[in-house]
Structure 1
Amino acid sequence: METIKIYEETTRHFLLPIKPLLDDDDVSEILINGHETIFFEKAGRLYRSELRFPDEASLMAAVRNIAEFVNRIVDRDNHSMDARLPDGSRVHVIIPPSSRGGPHVSIRKFKRSTFNLDSLVDWGSLSAAAAEFLKIVVQIHKNTIISGGTGTGKTSMLNALSASIPEHERIVVIEDSSELQLHQPHTVYLEAQPAAPDGRGRVSIQDLFVDSLRMRPDRIVVGEVRRGEALDMIQSMLSGHAGALTTTHANTPLDAMIRLETMCLMSGVDMPVHVARRQVASAVHLVIQLRRYDDGSRRVHSIEEILGLDDQGMYIAHPLYEFQTTGRDDDGMLIGAMQPTGNVATFSKEAYALGFGNTIDLCRSVLPPNGSEAEQ
């Protein structure tokens, strides 16, 4: 029997107390706050479950089984762990004494990606015109940052965007914990590794980024930038590896740019702030801002083009699309849609010059043929 099959069976055994939640396709997250308290998310809202583990020992047994599957250690010297289940679900664990209420386990359930930007349109997360625009953005290799808070759907958006990458491209995917699932035939997946107990064997996102540049990538996709690897990514964008896609935690496009700048300064390279800012402003073309609203829906809040720096050295961001609400329905759900702002993308002429004019229809107000004025 293959190793992964063994762990599929053993993991299911140890997680048997929450099997109904694992098997429910409508449940997106399972939050275990000690063995007696379990919450789950469905349709963007949290509910408390009546399920529970028999005792703390049984929950810790499940934690150790998951750690063994990903070859990681969680103990008093390693109080937390990022891992995944055999089906690809993302797991984060933190154990006592760091977690006072017992072991805390967060499971972001894996959903096999069969969707693309059109699927997001069907779900109401994106307008058809904005989806068409983003497809063009990916195909003409614009460097794109997906920004949003926790649980806003950044990974889902990254998967959907990646579906627009042409199949002939060689794609290198870099992640802390493997989660993305691209359908292009020439995709290479790289995964960071924590250090062994003796301190050896650590492979960081930054290490993998350096490796990726030597692998002849047409496209580099980074699951999330969190630290100094941001500088490697930004410099690769500036040196011929255009079309990068990644995510970051931020509440606004401006915050996303400042966060990237800050992470560049964490790289260990001695660099003045204004140099880091100028590089980030030159490298990033577009920021897609996601938001989870109070009705539980996840939507694209705005799509903004980054136009460098102004005379005061601040980032210039021009919104191209924004989500506009018109009210709520009888169930309290927001009614609204993404609308063009009237601004025109500066790379409009480039899209036509590269031969994509015949695919531009719904987003013609943002990508007009003359590249200067939005058509009325």
Structure 2
Amino acid sequence: MAEIKLNVFNDLMATVDLGEFAKLDHKSVRDAISEIVSEIINMRNLTLSAAEQQMVITEICNDVLGLGPLEPLLARDDIADIMVNGADKVYIECNGKIELTDIRFRDNQQLMNICQRIVSAIGRRVDEASPICDARLADGSRVNVIAPPLSIDGPALTIRKFRRDRLTLDKLVKFGTITPAGGRLLEIIGHCRINTIVSGGTGSGKTTLLNCLTNYIDRTERIITCEDAAELQLQQPHVVRLETRPPNLEGVGAVTMRDLVRNCLRMRPERIIVGEVRGPEAFDLLQAMNTGHDGSMGTIHANNPRECVSRLENMIAMGGYNLPAKTVREHIAGAIQVVVQSARLRDGSRKITHVSEVMGMEGEVVTLQDLFVYEITGEDAQGRITGRHRFTGLRPGFWDRVRYFGKERDLAEAMEAGNA
């Protein structure tokens, strides 16, 4: 079957002009390819059942228009990640566990063609001269490609899939990621313009959680997002989406995250949302938080709230600022109000483990207090981790801000329900 498909595919490529197809809509192209492939099968006198013929047509359409063998995986909502290690190995993450699939590419060239199709759709490129590229699919799924010679066994393609049904805090509560009372706390934080950093390790659900928090931003606010690859899916009507740009073939023309965040300040934002803070742009985001852009948010890689503060300090140092450590910490303590910590546990489940408030400085140390925590109590017979979320009983320092927005009763009720 693989040989038949290859021969039909080669005949198709020799017959059609893909440039003409680019002028048509997706359905018209698929119908035209289906018709041509059926004619090629008849001309070659190939003996195929109706089901086999339809399978050949579908796979060739996926090769020409989509992501080839990966198309069936993209249609599945239970898959979080797709990891392609060369033409012969495709892994998926499903329910927090990594599994090897039986999907194969024809060869590394087919895989490379699909990688190039993905990145060219957003004006980027991947080849021997530029073998590393971050991109995204049309639905916002995150894509990373690393090509030979850096990837020794063929192109490596990693896709962090976005679910078709957009996750909300209500769904996170249903999945056990957080309790209803904890979800109510996050809803209040998102609505009351509290400067927030979502912290967590790789794959812990930081971007998903940031998306959930932005659901509660007032629809009248002007929001500007800055991302390396546009993933956030804000539902408000007044959103400006900005995306970084890599250098061109001559090595010039790059637009960094720091450039975008700085430019945001000239665009009359009410909130600035940074998809991922990973470098010197941390200083510019904190500047924005300190100069009237309340309710700004971002994500950062860190294993706990204390480490999140330390990483912000290190990122500011990466920008070459010759500032005393105490000054940098005062800057962080004055800008960040809440750190929401997300984690992926060893059983594959994702939990919000801390909602911590930045209280200020004591001497030269940034002080934190936990408002809401997750405590692990053990594991069940199936190896799933058991635990409970609880409020610590401490009164939030942002209580006056919550009262300013008329949400103090909701916050009191959430805290009382969380301790019941």
Equivalence map 1:129-208=2 (5 Å): 129-208=181-260
CA deviation vs aligned residue, 1:114-169 (integer Å, no higher than 9, x gap): 33222211111011111111111122211111001100000100000000111111
2:366 corresponding residue in structure 1:
315
Give the aligned residue type for 2:306: L
Whether 1:285 aligns to 2:332 is no
Please state whether the residue corresponding to 1:121 is helix, strand or coil: helix
Larger Rg: 2
Preserved CA contact (<8 Å) 1:320 1:366: no
Find the aligned partners of 2:157 and 2:398 in 1 and give their Cα distance: 45
Residue 415 of structure 2: SS of its match in structure 1? Answer: coil
Cα distance in structure 1, aligned partners of 2:70 and 2:388: 37
Deviation at 1:100, TM superposition (A): 1.9
Give the AA of the match of 1:314: V
Give the whole-Å Cα distance in 1 for the aligned partners of 2:262 and 2:25.
29
CA 1:197 to 1:206, structure 2 compared with 1: closer, same or farther past 3 Å?
same
Shift of 1:10: 7.1
Identity of aligned residues (%): 38
2:173 to 114, 118, 121: 121
The answer to whether the Cα contact below 8 Å between 2:181 and 2:417 also exists between their aligned partners in 1 is no
Question: Residue 43 and residue 184 in structure 1: after superposition, are their counterparts in 2 closer, same or farther (change >3 A)?
Answer: same
Change (3 A) 1:328 1:2: farther
Partner residue, 2:11: none
Runs of 4+ in structure 1 deviating by more than 6 angstroms, as ranges, are 1-4, 6-12
Give 1:303's aligned residue. Answer: 355
Letter in 2 for 1:343: L
Helix, strand or coil: the match of 1:265?
Answer: helix
| Secondary structure in structure 2 of the residue aligned to 1:294 | coil
Aligned to 1:349: 400
Does the aligned pair in 2 maintain the 1:321–1:340 contact within 8 Å?
yes
Give the TM-score of the pair, scaled to structure 1: 0.91
Higher relative contact order (CA 8 A, sep 6+): 1
Structure 1 pair 253–146 and aligned structure 2 pair: CA distance change class (3 A): same
The SS at the match of 2:374 is strand
| Contact 1:340–1:366 (CA under 8 A) maintained in structure 2 | no
CA distance in 1, matches of 2:217, 2:404: 18
Q: Against the structure 1 CA distance between its residues 314 and 19, is the aligned structure 2 distance closer, same or farther, given a 3 Å change threshold?
A: same
In 2, are the aligned partners of 1:345 and 1:366 still within 8 Å (CA)?
no
Question: Per-residue deviation at 1:361?
Answer: 4.8
Asked if 2 retains the 8 angstrom alpha-carbon contact of 1:220 and 1:241, the reply is yes
Distance (whole Å) between structure 1 residues aligned to residue 164 and residue 25 of structure 2? 17
Aligned 1:95-110 pairs, distance under 5 A = 95-110=147-162
With normalisation by structure 2, the TM-score equals 0.82
Alpha carbons of structure 1 residues 4 and 344: separation in structure 2 relative to 1, 3 Å: farther
Give the aligned length. 368
Q: Equivalent residue of 2:171, what SS?
A: helix
CA 1:11 to 1:219, structure 2 compared with 1: closer, same or farther past 3 Å?
Answer: farther
Give 3-state SS (helix, strand or coil) of 1:360's partner.
helix
Alignment partners' CA distance in 1, 2:184 and 2:23: 42
In the alignment, the residues of structure 2 paired with residue 70 and residue 226 of structure 1 have an alpha-carbon distance, to the nearest angstrom, of: 22
